[in-house]
Structure 1
Amino acid sequence: MADLPDARTLPLDEASRAALAERGLEYRLLRSHDGDAIDAHSSAWMRGFAAPEAEEEHLRDVRETMAGRRLIGVYDARGAQAHWPVATVSSWITPVTIPGGELPMWAISTVTVAATHRRRGIARALLEAELRDAHAAGVPIAGLTASEATIYGRYGFAPATQAATWKVDTRRVRWAGPEAPGRIEYIDREAAAALMGELHERTRLQRLGEVPGWPRRWLGHLGLVEKKDRAVRAVRYLDAAGEPRGVLAYKIDEDHEEADADLTIRFLVADGDEAVAALWRFAIEHDLVGTVTAPDRPVDEPLPWLVSDPRVPTSSLTDHGWLRIVDVPAVLEARAYAGPVDLVLRVADPLGYADGAWRVEIADGRATVTEAAGAGADVELTVQELSAAYLGGVSLAVLRAAGRVRGSDAAIAALDLALRVPRAPFLSIVY
């Protein structure tokens, strides 16, 4: 990827600063060395997500992660807690995996507005500023994970990856998958957290929509942050050569009848199908366990093909990774494609960044995109649909059936084919 600026060094967005000042509010960029301000910012967004009030040790623990991000707070000097922001957002520039490589993405997180300051245009000021900042920095796409699915569409974001929660009644199945040549062994939780980070970084280019993690994310999966959870355990899979290829963090509920416990997979990351299967087998065949539950897993998990009855594993799906294209030519020319295309694409974007008509010519798996102002469009959609379909996890044919894409049958079919990918996009973490 080309050299990009540190998001923390960018100037404060003047349009949002002025708009919020008219409402008697201060739009402020925090500095990474101001620990007290970062702690107040963290306390505010935790409150926004309905978390208990954080203890000082917890805030210190969070500070290292937050100091690496661009932190914005909105302040009301009239409040009793004037040092706490009444709205928060954080962002940073990170690579995201796309077909054929990766792309710099403006990652947006910790978006909150205090319950006392709703419906004052604060969220709009925050999010529109984030998109202006991304555009000014030359970052062609923005992303987030959404706690509420109704907020972000109005800013052009759309769900581009899904996550599944898998459940298996282990009493009704036996293992039908391969015999792994390696072995499973227990591992200390601190060592498991380090291995999670290593394996995530080693494998993230294998899953479309994936982004790098950070140390506190892995410690959290192991129950080593905030309220420590000593019930979490970890195992790793070593291949036949003794190399670690996978790690699993799990927890067994403490309130159960004999041989009927629930085992929850908190996180599983593996380098290769062999390790994935071996760790699933460990969970399914665990003593005294009647049900295995695994949230935030791929929708195309091979699990039904690893057990004797493919009807027993069930999954429920939800949106997870949301994307918002900022620069159409840049994002379309960055990814690889599965088929040829020659068409004019009309993209509507109320905020203007992606708006326009573009001639898209795809040959030998790569696209050339040029402006086609005034040309008749073969395919028409908004930036939301293009953002949803970009990674290949959402079909243009399905969007057309929903009335969200218009154009000729041949052009839509050709672009749909070109966007297809072998495995479903998958983002394994929340940010």
Structure 2
Amino acid sequence: MVFPDARDVPVDPLSEQRLSGSGLDYRIVDLADPAAARAFVRAETRGFLDQEPDDESVRATVDMMAARRNVGVYAATAGSAVDALPVATVDSWVTPMTVPGGGHVPMWAISAVTVAGTHRRRGIARSLLEGELRAAVGAGIPVAGLTATEATIYGRYGFGPAAPVARVEVDARRAGGIAPEPTGVVEYVDREQLPEALSQVHERAREQRAGQIPGWPLRWMRLAGTAPGEEKGRAVRGAQYRDADGVVRGVLVYALEILDAEFGADLVIRHVVADAPEALRALWAFAVNHDLIRTVRADLQPVDDPLPWLVADQRAVRTTVHDHGWLRILDVPSALGARSYRAPLDLVIRVSDPLGFAEGSWRVRIGQDGAAVIEPTADAADIALDVAALSSLYLGGVSATTLRAAGRITATADSAASFDDAFGSASAPTLSIWY
């Protein structure tokens, strides 16, 4: 599958005009210019409250961002100085996202959204986000996505939380242990080997759950503690599971937080990935059964993770579900037509969209084969909802029945239930990385 290159898409003219009227320069950043690239990375780092990057960290980040479309907003006082820090940043790229049924949809991934504290409440974030959406529409991309550090920002732009995840904490002393796998082996892995192992297993595992996207080298290096500037990298440890044929089927990256009051530690999982159930069970057993461990903590786990069913005492597992992967449908027929469905369906949905991209009424017909045909219609709607709600429902991780009860959609109980029967997925959608 060949996707458009986001770097070929110019800045959005409407956002450019709006920001220019406020004395701001909105432009694509030339990362080939070392001074401009360093300034962009410094601004993005500042926006996420990270420490000032050193030269090696800047080079590593620029190498990663070189494959993306990087946009900066500059104050008029900066003039043409290439080393001036932008007052706002965003980057984006087109990536395949796994959808129910194992297919993929092109997604406009949005990242590095920052606005300097000196320039808040000037409409900059609105221009950045709407500019990205218009750029995606212009490139023919049907879905945009992001991960959010704050949950109240993106709904106004039509994004909805679509891939919830779980934060888990296990009282290892109470859990009762997990039976080890009878086949295969868990072994320690040097930090330097972890990025490649994570990449290989993730590429296989991401095909198994809707909502996942490919990773990239710097993401795996940061998780493994081997990226430039990782001050606590030496505390990172790794383990992997090899099956009976010697194939690595799962990887666990973790760190230990030593308990001052006793001889022991908490085991904090930075990332766990497996492409086979036995590999996941073995890695959970390694963590929960580990000697001298009080608690095991992990985030970004699937909401249907089997962990509570692996331990003797389920009350030893505390699970907190929270939003993580946010989606924004831009083209209803293309987005809905990209996935498959679990039950037949024939109903009309009326979608409202304040930005107009997904506005309209659509008849959704799904056959016994799970394929959908989506056509515009003037027929009365069976379900009326806004684009954020439809985006939340898209992967099957959010229930139409739940959104009806919350007043987020207008539908009969039967229509909502039929929608859920069709849109549901055998495995909960998830997103195991930040971007």
Scaled by the length of structure 2, the TM-score of the pair is 0.96
| Alignment equivalent of 1:123, drawn from 118, 125, 136 | 125
Q: Which runs of 5+ in 2 are unaligned?
A: none
Tell me the distance in 2 between the aligned counterparts of 1:99 and 1:247. Answer: 24
8 Å CA contact retained: 1:297, 1:428: yes
Q: How far does residue 178 in structure 1 lie from its aligned partner after superposition?
A: 5.5
Equivalent residue for 2:152, pick from 150, 153, 156: 150
Q: Which amino acid aligns with 1:424?
A: A
1:183 matched to which residue of 2? Answer: 185
Q: CA deviation at 1:49?
A: 1.1
Q: Which whole-Å deviations, capped at 9, do the CAs of 1:269-302 have from their partners, x for residues lacking one?
A: 1120100011111111111111111122111111
Indicate conservation of the 8 Å contact 1:142/1:323, yes or no.
yes
Distance 2:144 2:353 in 1: 14
Matched, 1:368 2:378: no
In structure 2, the CA distance between the partners of 1:310 and 1:32, relative to structure 1 (3 Å rule), is: same
| 1:9-34 per-position Cα deviation (integer Å, ceiling 9, x unaligned) | 11221111111111111001113422
Counterpart of 2:402 (choices 378, 381, 398) is: 398
Q: Contact 1:260 / 1:291 at 8 angstroms: preserved in 2? A: no
Deviations 1:57-110 (A, max 9, x none): 211121111111100000013159971100000000000010121100000001
Alignment of 1:266-281 (within 5 A): 266-281=270-285
How far apart, in 1, do the equivalents of 2:411 and 2:252 lie? 46
**Partner Cα separation in structure 2 for residue 407 and residue 313 of structure 1:** 36
Name the CA distance, whole Å, in 2 between partners of 1:310 and 1:30: 51
Q: 1:55 & 1:238 partners in 2: Cα distance? A: 37
CA distance, structure 2, for counterparts of residue 169 and residue 140 of structure 1: 43
Provide the C-alpha distance between the structure 1 equivalents of 2:147 and 2:104, rounded to a whole number of angstroms.
Answer: 18
- Listed as ranges, the matches of 1:45-84 within 5 Å are 45-78=44-77, 83-84=84-85
- How far apart in 2 are the matches of 1:35 and 1:356? 46
Instruction: Quote the offset at 1:318 in angstroms.
Output: 1.1
Match of 1:37 in 2: 36
CA distance in 2, matches of 1:263, 1:388: 33
Distance in structure 1 (CA, Å) of the matches to 2:321 and 2:33: 41
- Please show how residues 21-420 of structure 1 align to structure 2 within 5 Å: 21-78=20-77, 83-100=84-101, 101-177=103-179, 179-225=181-227, 226-228=229-231, 229-364=233-368, 365-372=370-377, 374-420=378-424
Kept after mapping to 2: 8 A contact 1:38/1:67: no
Q: Distance in 2 between matches of 1:35 and 1:65?
A: 14
**CA offsets 1:162-214 (integer angstroms, 9 cap, x no match):** 12111111111223445331111111111111010011011111011000000
Contact 2:259-2:266 at 8 Å conserved across structures = no
- Distance in 1 between residues matched to 2:311 and 2:259, nearest whole Å: 27
Shift of 1:366: 1.1
Distance of 1:353 and 1:180 partners within structure 2: 53
More moved, 399-408 vs 85-94: 399-408
Provide the secondary structure at the position in 2 that maps to 1:64.
helix
Answer yes or no: is the 8 Å Cα contact 1:93–1:105 preserved in 2: yes
SS of the residue corresponding to residue 266 of structure 1 reads strand
CA distance in 1, matches of 2:404, 2:34: 50
Read off the aligned partner of 2:26 and give its amino acid letter.
Y
State the Cα deviation string for residues 27-53 of structure 1 (Å, max 9, x = none): 011134223212211110111111111
Q: How many angstroms apart in 1 are the aligned matches of 2:363 and 2:122?
A: 40
Q: Is the 8 A contact 1:44 1:86 kept in 2?
A: yes
Q: CA deviation at 1:307?
A: 1.0
Kindly state the Cα deviation for residue 390 of structure 1 after the two structures are TM-superposed: 0.4
* Unmatched segments (≥5 aa) in structure 1: none
- On the 8 A contact 1:259/1:290 being kept in 2, the answer is no
Deviations along 1:217-257, one digit per CA (max 9) or x if unpaired, are 11111111223321111111111122111111111113434
Moved more, 304-313 or 224-233: 224-233
Q: Aligned equivalents of 2:273 and 2:241: distance in 1?
A: 10
Deviation of the 1:346 alpha carbon: 0.3
Does structure 2 conserve the Cα–Cα contact (< 8 Å) formed by 1:146 and 1:322? yes
Are 1:32 and 1:68, in contact at CA under 8 Å, matched by a contact in 2?
no
Aligned length in residues: 429
